[in-house]
Amino acid sequence: MSLTSNGDGLQEVRLSSFPSVVELNVGGVFYTTSISTLTKEPNSLLGQMFTGEGGKTAMRDSKGKFFIDRDGVIFRYILDYLRNQKVLLPENFHERERLKQEAEYFMLPGMVANIEALPSTSHSHRVPFSLAAASHISRPPGYITVGYRGTFAFGRDGLADVKFRKLTRILVCGKVGLCREVFGENLNESRDPDRCNMDRYTARFFLKHNFLEQAFDDLNGASFRCVAAAGSGTACGGTGEPLKPGMDSEENRWNHYNEFVFVRP
């Protein structure tokens, strides 16, 4: 595979030789998928980018991931459509027009038709009560706890130059079946050896991304609500504690740990 720089820190992939497993950076959100999924519809924009057809090129970011400058959160539904050839949206999804716009951009007319065929949310009050209740009962209740350890990155001017929030990992605790339902492919189960029992509880899951708001969106889409939160606060590092490699003293003083408890009744 030959690469050439375009002057913006990205590299254009000139040949149609791609790995079978592809890492994507879509607007800052990371995905891992197969080349067969991306090329399932050859005439789509993704199909052309990852076959080298039509003069389209795939870009790589500075870490080697293929870069697509689009809405990273919405892109999950683009991948879902390519995998399943149908559009499945969570309850209370309010960005249908944006999703349609993304489907049009990626040249997926079948997905656009699916979105247009979905019943309008404005008619939700016409659903009989018995059907609405059955839909609610079909989704099992339970709790999911989300926790993260983080700090802030500072520039030369310290607190006057806070660059960004740094999260090392987002942890997920709860019943296995609920966690898989909510987070899907974004759930990393590599630290959990027993993956068969959906009714057991685990505290060994974490997410493949470090976007706390994306985790909250997933929980909200699955009808979970935050009922409790606890945190260690900031500026909690002791002055005599040894520093971790790569962490300066200013960041160490602003370490914190937070947990959020979500429930679906």
**pLDDT for the residue 130:** 39
Indicate the average pLDDT of the chain.
80
pLDDT of amino acid 100? 93
Give the CATH fold of the 3-121 domain: Potassium Channel Kv1.1; Chain A (3.30.710)
- Asked if residue 236 has pLDDT above 60, the reply is no
Bridging pattern class, strands 66-68 and 21-26: parallel
Domain boundaries, the chain: 3-121, 142-264
Distance of CA 15 to the CA centre of its chain: 29
Give long-range contacts, CB 8 A cutoff, 24+ apart: 105-108: 105/45, 105/70, 106/44, 106/45, 106/46, 106/78, 107/43, 107/44, 107/45, 108/41, 108/44, 108/78, 108/81, 108/82
- Mean pLDDT in residue range 230-236: 69
> Are the beta carbons of 13 and 57 closer than 8 angstroms?
yes
DSSP state of 108: -
Block residue for tokens 């709790």: 143
| Residue 2 predicted with pLDDT over 90 | no
pTM, two decimal places: 0.45
pLDDT digits (tens, 9 = 90+) for 8-59: 555 444 444 788 899 999 988 899 999 999 999 999 999 998 887 777 777 8
Pairing state between β 225-231 and 201-207: unpaired
- Locate 196 and state its tokens: 């068969």
Q: What is the pLDDT of residues 132-169, one digit of tens each?
A: 444 444 578 999 999 998 887 766 665 566 667 778 89
